[in-house]
Structures are given as structure tokens and as C-alpha cells.
Structure 1
Amino acid sequence: MNTIQAVTVSCPNCGRRNRTPVAAKGRPTCGHCKQPLPWTVDAGDDDFTEIAEQADVPVVVDLWATWCGPCRTVSPALEQVATDLAGRIKLVKVDVDRSPRLSQRFEVQAVPTLLVLDKGRAVARQTGAAPAPVLRQWVEQSIMTREG
């Protein structure tokens, strides 16, 4: 990827809109209030390494499909977890139908499949939808050893 892509994120603290690169070192913060921003981006077969595996924060990977009802249910819950854990994780969403190599690599048998990556290595895996509090607990337990 030669051009720097960015997503626009509203700061949950002050409401200001910020442009956040999809692939970068560090942790994004609000340009106005300096609070951590939720970091949610899309990735696919061609840019997953740069976006997810090279991140220096734990990455929650949501392997989903547009036709999947439970995927549509879990998506807002994961975005809430990304907001709650802003500065501690990066949420990367992968459409399995558009990313067959990643689906094969992670042996996706059902969607949604959720992974927690630490420096590109899967340290936790969960299949199926769950409410935001359950997902948050799962993510926090998965990243605890890294932070501890």
C-alpha cells in the first residue's frame, strides 16, 4: 500500500472528528483533547499484514460476511468494545467473501469468527455472536498477559 489511507473517527470524549491512518505505529489520540480514539478499520487479503499484523497494540479481528445475521448483531457490540478499550486495541474487520486467503489461513468454518492477535500471532479465538459485555471480558482476558 503506497498511499496512506485514513478513516474519520469521532472522539467519544469531546466529539471532534479526527482522521486516523488505517496502518500506523502507536495509538491514535484526539487532536483536540488528546484522549485515546477507538481504532476500527477494514482490511483484506492485500493489506492485512500492514494493517493488522504490524500493529503495536493487540488487534481484535472480526471475520464476518454481509449475508450473516449474527455478524450484523455482533458488529455494534465490537465497535462498543473498541470504544471502551480505545488506546488498548485495534478492531480490524475482514469480509470473508472478499478475503478468501485470510479465511483459509485462519481456518474460518463459521462467521462471525473473532481473533485476538498479538504481534500477528493469534492468542485467542471465538466463534459466534455475543453481547458487548461478554466480548469486552473476552478481549480484556486475552490481552491481559500482554499488558501485565
Structure 2
Amino acid sequence: MADSSSDASAGNLTLACPHCAALNRVAQARLGQGRCGKCKQALFTGAPVELTGTNFNALVNRSDLPVVVDFWADWCGPCKAMAPIFAQLASELEPRIRFAKLDTDAEQALAGRFNIRSIPTLAVFRRGQEVARQAGVMPLAQLKQWLAPHLL
């Protein structure tokens, strides 16, 4: 198996399935039409993926696609205000970036690993490395502008 950096430069990306977390190679030109080789479901749903300790490594660390993670909690009013904005952008911007949500109450170890001190916090990851972070609610246009440099 060739390493993903040479695949990415050749136009192939390694992506984790949002349903079963299996890794898939997809031609960048066919990104939006990709289906998982294991479970046969669509690799993009137009909705944020729920991150857990089980699927985080595959979806964030092992994927060539940038991932924006919304660190949130159910009791957080600003998080609830941010949710529809985040979901709308997922439907607009996928497959150029993956949208994911991590419940900081359910996944305290992961939230601690990334030193999440306030919510909502958005973080953009590329191949597992955090490249941008923003705390607080952002209006749709501002969030879209903030994400623009990170899109494929």
C-alpha cells in the first residue's frame, strides 16, 4: 500500500467512512460520489459526523480530508445556537471538508486531550494536526470565511 501523501499528490485521498470508520481510497475528482468499500454507504452525508473515542483516529487522524470539529455539550445554549449553522455548512461544503461534532461530556478524555476550556470550540484538523481554532458562536458568513483557507 502506498503512503497517503503520495496518493494525495496523485489525486487519491484516504477517507474514513462516517458509518463504519473503514479507510477508503477515493480519487479527489470523484470525492462526492464515493461509497465505502466495506459497508457500501455514502462517504458523505451532508451532515456532521458524531465523533467518539472509537472513530476519532480514523476520521480525523488517518484521513487526508480536512476535518472541522465542533466541541460542544447538550446543556450549552451557545452550542445549540451554533448547531444549525454548522449543519447548514456541512450540507454546503462537503466533500471539500468533513464536519464532525464531539460531545465534550460524553468524550471527556478527547476534550481534555485538546485542552478544550470553553464551548462551543471549533478546530480544524489536517491529517490529525490541529491547524486552526476558534471559540464561540460564529454567524454563517463568518464561519464560511474562517473555513475557506482549509477547503480542498
Fold match (TM-score > 0.5): yes
Match of 1:46, SS? coil
> Which of the two has greater helix per residue?
2
Select the residue among 95, 101, 119 that pairs with 2:109.
101
One-letter amino acid of the structure 2 residue matched with residue 77 of structure 1: I
Q: Supply the RMSD in Å over aligned alpha carbons.
A: 2.4
Structure 1 residues 117, 5: CA separation in 2 closer, same or farther (over 3 Å shift)? closer
| Aligned-partner residue type, residue 98 of structure 2 | K
Match of 1:126 among 134, 146, 150: 134
Map of 2:33 onto structure 1: 29
TM-score (norm 1): 0.73
Over 3 Å counting, the alpha-carbon distance change for 1:48 and 1:130 in structure 2 is same
The corresponding residue for 2:56 is 48
Partner Cα distance (1:41, 1:23) in 2: 14
Cα distance, 1:59–1:5 mapped onto 2, change above 3 Å: closer
**Counterpart residue type for residue 81 of structure 1:** L
Counting only pairs closer than 5 Å after superposition, residues 1-148 of structure 1 correspond to structure 2 as 6=19, 24-25=23-24, 26=26, 27-29=31-33, 38=46, 40-141=48-149, 143=150, 147=152
Counterpart code for 1:103: A
Contact in 2 for aligned 1:28/1:37 (Cα 8 Å): no
The 8 Å contact of residues 18 and 49 in structure 2, kept in 1 or not, is answered as: no
What is the TM-score of this pair, normalised by structure 2?
0.72
